[in-house]
Structure formats: C-alpha cells, structure tokens
Amino acid sequence: MGKLPSPDEVTAVAEKVLKLYDGVYFNPTEDKKLIGPVIADEIKKFNASLEKGLKEIEKINVIDGKIAFDLYQSYGMPVEISRELFLEKGQVIDQKTFMDAFAVHRNLSRSASAGKFKGGLADSSEQTIKYHTATHLLHQALFDVLGKDVRQEGSNITGERLRFDFYHTQKPTVEELEKIAEVVNEKISQALPVEFKLIPKQEAEKLGAKSFFREKYPDMVKVYFVGDYSKEFCGGPHVKNTSEIKSFTIIKCEKIGNNLFRIYAK
C-alpha cells in the first residue's frame, strides 16, 4: 500500500473530524491532541490489514463474489480495490454473489442479537433492572474518573452480571477501576431517586444527557435522571432508587479492540 500519512495530513483529518462534530461530541480546543494519534493509529492498522489482504489476493487464481466478501470480512479489503486488482488479471467479480454473501452475514448478525430487550437487557427480571440502572452510574463514573473522551459502545445485561463496552484512549489502571467502583457504590449508598422526563431531543442534549452515539433518537426522548448525578437517554426499565441496587463490584476489565474496553460487573 502507499506510504502512511504525514503528521500534517493526520492533523488536517483530525481538524475536519472536530469541525464536523463540533458541539456534539468534541471540544476542538481540548480534544485535538487526543484525536490525531487515534486517527494515525487507525490508518496504520488499516494499511497493515490491507497489506495482508493483498498477499492473500496474490494466492487466488480465480475470484468470485464469495471470495471477494471473505477478503472484505477478514482483511477489510474494499470490494472496489479487489475488483480493480482482478480486472488487471482479466477477471470480473460477480457483484450479486458478493451482495448475497453480505446479506447472509448481516442477517446472521441480526439473529445473534434477537431476543434482547432495548438497551442490551436479556430480560426484565428484578436483578437485570438493577444492573441496568447500575450501568448509568458506571457510565458517569467512567466519565468522571477517566475523562470526557469516554464513549459508550454497547452493553449486555443479564440477571447474573452486567457488561459495559466503552471507548477510551487507554486501558484503565487497577487504581482507576477501584475508584470507579467506589464512586458507583457511593451513589448507591446515597439512595438517589431515579426518575425520567420526556423532553425534546435538543433540550436533552443541552442538558448534557449522555446518549449512545450509534442510536437514532426521535424528536422527543426519554431521559433518566439519577439524582443530580447522571442524565442519560434511555428507554428503561430502571429501579426507583439507587439503594435498590445494594452494591456494585467490577469483576474484570478487558481490551476488546483498538481503544475499546469491556467491563464485567455485578
């Protein structure tokens, strides 16, 4: 592949990202130094992945849509690049076969998540609802202890434990995890009321309510308030008071991707 971008080029990309999301996710003045290195690292990893894909292409004598999809799935090889490379060999990728393979993969992914309640809840049992409410406290505590670049990436909650995925520039230390758990337990012991309001989305954003950035929200949204500590877009269900949660313990925190981490707690 081509050479990696220069620091100036990465800075230019970072500035465009900051401009695009100004006032939504980032503060241009404070976040510029954080975003540049992340973009540079992503570009480096993308190039490395494509290099592997190119080596695989050299081994392929006859291409078809299914193989092209496998290259895309395994190495992130854009079908446009695969199409051009195989055209040089006098071969054409069957677009329909590629799209059929893509549709099968998409449907399998959807099936894997079927049956879950909104917000990643496996059911609506009493314990699951307690853990779900605890994720609101955890989300805010992560933000308070680690910094405002923390971003929720997903959650999965059962009656046995909660799982919370988030973005951060580095893995939390043991001391930071202990502090996070301490903050959550402090809020539980304070017996904070849990209430919701149905308000316009723009008003909720002005209030600083946290949201899952991949979710598409309607014009009117439900915002859950945990005392004056946490504000978050959410459909529920929740406990009425944090004292119902009783306690919170982080079981482990693991890395699941580039700047992506997963906390298990109960």
Query: Which two three-digit tokens encode residue 18?
Result: 């900051």
Closest CA to 34 of 139, 183, 150, 186: 150
How large a percentage of the chain has pLDDT more than 70? 83
Q: Which amino acid is at 82?
A: S
Q: What is the mean pLDDT of the chain?
A: 85
- pLDDT tens string 34-66: 667 777 777 787 788 788 888 888 889 888 888
Instruction: Write out the CATH class of domain 126-265.
Output: alpha beta
SS3 string of 123-171? CCCHHHHHHHHHHHHHHHHHHHHHCCCCEEEEEEECCCCEEEEEECCCC
Q: What is the pLDDT of residues 212-243, one digit of tens each?
A: 766 778 889 999 999 999 999 998 899 999 99
Is the pLDDT at 257 greater than 90? The verdict is: no
Instruction: Spell out the residues 6+ positions from residue 77 whose beta carbon is closer than 8 angstroms to its own.
Output: 49, 50, 53, 54, 57, 71
Show me where the domains of the chain are located: 7-112, 126-265
**Stretch 87-104: mean pLDDT, rounded?**
87
The pLDDT tens digits for 239-256 are 999 999 999 999 999 999
